[in-house]
Amino acid sequence: MVATSAHHVVRVTVRIDVVSFHRDVDLTLPTSSTLSEVFPELARMVELPEVHRPWQATTVAGAPLDMNTPLYQHKLRDGSVIVLRPQELVHPPVVRDAAESLAAAADGAASLRGLDAVTSLVGCAVLAAAVAPFIGVVAACAGAAAAAAVLGLYSGSRLLYLAGALAASAACGAWVAGPPAQWAATDPALGVLAAAATLAVLTGGGVLVSLLDAPTTAASLTTALLCAAAAAGAWLPSPSAPAAVAVTGALLAAAAAPGVATRAAGLRVPRIPTAGEELAAADGYQPDVDARARRARATLAGIAVGCALVAAPALVWLAWDADVWATVLCLCVLGAVAFHATRHHYRVPRVALSAIALAAALACGIAAARMEPTHPAAVVLAGIVGLACASAVAWAPRLPDLEPTTVVWLERAEAVALVAALPVAAYVVGVFDLVRGF
């Protein structure tokens, strides 16, 4: 309808809102009248309470209406709502000069967390470097790691304790492996096993004193387990076995991460009784389900980060050996992770899985460059992977708009790559040669 009807009247609802007085009044008003002309009669009709501030008319959204302007100039339609309330005092804006504006902009910018922990780490490193010529590098690193861990426990610094745990693990592994000049075939693997065990023990200690949170704990334990599995691959016949075991373990851990994180957080799917079953068979309500969900997301992020920390260098190690089947394994990992990484809901797991996929893509190029004699298939595959990665800025924005059938086929290809990675990894680690040896 237009602003005025055929009889030059408009039908409106006047809503009065003041303290505890709330009233809606339907009125038919001439469009040539003003609200100030109608207000006295309206006040008597609804018995408005007396207030010490002038009345103000607004729309429902809060836009002011001049009470001395004819209604037709407000372009009110039939059914419009006019709100009457006392005028609100508007505080004048605070006028600041340049110095006050800079001070206001810098409010909170000076707060910086972790700088004291980094300073303590540098101090421990300096002390270790100073005493290393007298007691040896390994002993100096162990002492610095112990000092950093103790300082972390004293100050409650997660960064300081974690750095101390990593340094202690490295020192323990170096001590078990011995000098590089005297290494036997399995000495590095024994060192890695010792380092992984030390990291797991220190991580457990940090959890007991409530110093390490869920993502840090999950990342540390995942890294320790995958490193231990990679070290166990040193006793397999293939020289690429440790890297292949690490890559396969990271792939399986990433696939199992959602279920592990859900169980670790104590989340469970509610059990609904079937027809005829007693209601007592239903699961109880979890009052802290939101906190458990946040813990599950944090644990998932930690597992993904641990997988990326182990899988990325292992993929480069595989490519450096320039073996054909190792290159095929890198391609399988790329196919199993790439599409899943682009569609992950959470930021940290998406970045971690993308790092694994990009490391696999880089490994394809390294393998093609180091393969002697150069294999045409490896060069073509590396070119396809490189072209797909280089054009990511063109096709990545279109991924959310893919057709459902296209998504289904990509998910099938992802499943095929994941399934194919297992027998290829078994061949690379030398399982078939081991079976033939018996």
Tell me, what amino acid is at 372? E
Q: Is the pLDDT of residue 300 over 70?
A: yes
What is residue 4's predicted lDDT score, i.e. its pLDDT? Answer: 43
Other beta carbons within 10 angstroms of residue 280's beta carbon come to 6
Other beta carbons within 10 angstroms of residue 315's beta carbon come to 31
What is residue 38's predicted lDDT score, i.e. its pLDDT? Answer: 83
Both structure tokens of 317: 């190690």
Q: Is the pLDDT of residue 78 over 90?
A: no
Residue 312 has phi, psi (to 5 degrees) of -60, -55
Per-position b or e across 415-436, b if 16+ CB within 10 A of its CB? eebbebbeebbebbbbbeeeee
Give 28's strand partners: 11
All domains of the chain in start order, with CATH:
9-86 (3.10.20.90), 117-212 (no CATH), 240-269+288-438 (no CATH)
Q: What's the whole-number mean pLDDT along residues 368-380?
A: 82
232-to-116, 150, 194 alpha-carbon distances in Å:
39, 31, 12
Q: Which residue has the higher pLDDT, 260 or 72?
A: 260
109 pLDDT band, cuts 50/70/90, is: low
* Per-position DSSP letters for 59-113, written without gaps between them: -TT--EE-TTS-GGGGT--TTEEEEEEEPPPPPPPPP--HHHHHHHHTTTTT--S
Question: Residue 273: helix, strand or coil by DSSP?
Answer: coil
Half-sphere exposure of 401 (CA within 13 A, CB side): 4
- Please state, rounded to an integer, the average pLDDT across all residues of the chain: 84
Task: State which H helix or E strand residue 15 sits in.
Answer: strand 9-18
Give the pTM.
0.71
What is residue 90's predicted lDDT score, i.e. its pLDDT? Answer: 63
User: What are the pLDDT digits (tens) for 238-271?
Assistant: 888 899 999 999 999 998 998 899 888 888 777 6
* Per-position DSSP letters for 228-258, written without gaps between them: HHHHHGGGSSSTTHHHHHHHHHHHHHHHHHH
What is residue 279's predicted lDDT score, i.e. its pLDDT? Answer: 63
Q: Is the pLDDT of residue 274 over 50?
A: yes
The edge-to-edge listing of strands for the beta sheet with 64-65 is 21-30, 9-18, 80-86, 55-58, 64-65
What is residue 2's predicted lDDT score, i.e. its pLDDT? Answer: 43
Q: Is the pLDDT of residue 6 over 70?
A: no
Q: Is the pLDDT of residue 1 over 60?
A: no
User: What are the pLDDT digits (tens) for 13-56?
Assistant: 888 877 777 888 888 888 888 888 888 888 888 777 777 778 88
Question: Residue 23: helix, strand or coil by DSSP?
Answer: strand
Q: Which residue has the higher pLDDT, 84 or 351?
A: 351
For tokens 């992020």, the residue is 301
Q: Which residue has the higher pLDDT, 89 or 244?
A: 244
